[in-house]
Amino acid sequence: MTVAFDRLPIVDIGALRGDDAEAKARTAEKLAAAARDVGFLYVTGHGIPRDVIDGLEAAAEAFFNLPIDQKQAYHIRNSTCHRGYVPVGEEGFYAANPEMVDLKEAFDTALDLPADDPDYVAGNRMLGPNIWPAELPGFAAKVTDYYTAATGLGRTLFHGFALALGLEEDFFDRHLTKPPSQLRLLYYPRSDVAARATGWGIGPHTDFECFTILHSTKPGLQVQNAAGDWIEAPPIPGAFVVNIGDMLQAWSNGSFVATGHRVAKTGERRFSFPLFCAVDYWTEVRPLPSLCTAERPAQFPPVIAGEHLVAQTIRAFTYLRTQLEAGTISMPDSAPPEGTFGHETLQDARIVA
**Within a domain: 172:** yes
Average pLDDT over residues 30-56: 97
Instruction: Give me the number of domains the chain comprises.
Output: 1
**Within a domain: 200:** yes
Least confident of 1-5, 80-84, 233-237, 316-320: 1-5
What pLDDT is recorded for position 189? 85
What pLDDT is recorded for position 195? 41
What pLDDT is recorded for position 352? 33
**Within a domain: 1:** no
**Within a domain: 165:** yes
What pLDDT is recorded for position 333? 83
What pLDDT is recorded for position 196? 44
| 8 Å CB contact between 167 and 232 | no
What pLDDT is recorded for position 242? 98
**Within a domain: 257:** yes
β-partners of residue 277 are 211
**Within a domain: 221:** yes
CATH at 125: 2.60.120.330
pLDDT: is 341 or 80 the higher one?
80
Least confident of 83-87, 90-94, 175-179: 90-94
pTM: 0.93
Residue range 129-142, pLDDT digits in tens: 999 999 999 999 99
pLDDT band of 191, cuts 50, 70, 90? low
pLDDT at 224 > cutoff 70? yes
Q: Please give the residue range of the domain that contains residue 322.
A: 10-352
**Within a domain: 335:** yes
Q: Rounded distance, CA 258 to CA 277, Å?
A: 13
Residue range 87-113, pLDDT digits in tens: 988 987 654 455 666 788 999 999 999
pLDDT at 351 > cutoff 50? no
What pLDDT is recorded for position 334? 79
Give whichever of 122-126, 179-183, 218-222, 311-315 has the largest mean pLDDT.
179-183
pLDDT at 32 > cutoff 60? yes
Residue range 226-283, pLDDT digits in tens: 999 999 999 999 999 999 999 999 999 999 999 999 888 777 889 999 999 999 999 9
Q: Rounded distance, CA 318 to CA 295, Å?
A: 42
Contacts of 86 (CB under 8 A, 6+ apart): 76, 105, 106, 107, 108, 317
What pLDDT is recorded for position 349? 40
Say what angle helices 139-164 and 21-37 make with each other, to 10 degrees: 90
Q: Rounded distance, CA 314 to CA 31, Å?
A: 32
What pLDDT is recorded for position 94? 52
**Within a domain: 197:** yes
pLDDT at 150 > cutoff 70? yes
pLDDT at 198 > cutoff 60? no
What pLDDT is recorded for position 203? 75
> How many other β-carbons are positioned within 10 Å of the β-carbon of residue 179?
28
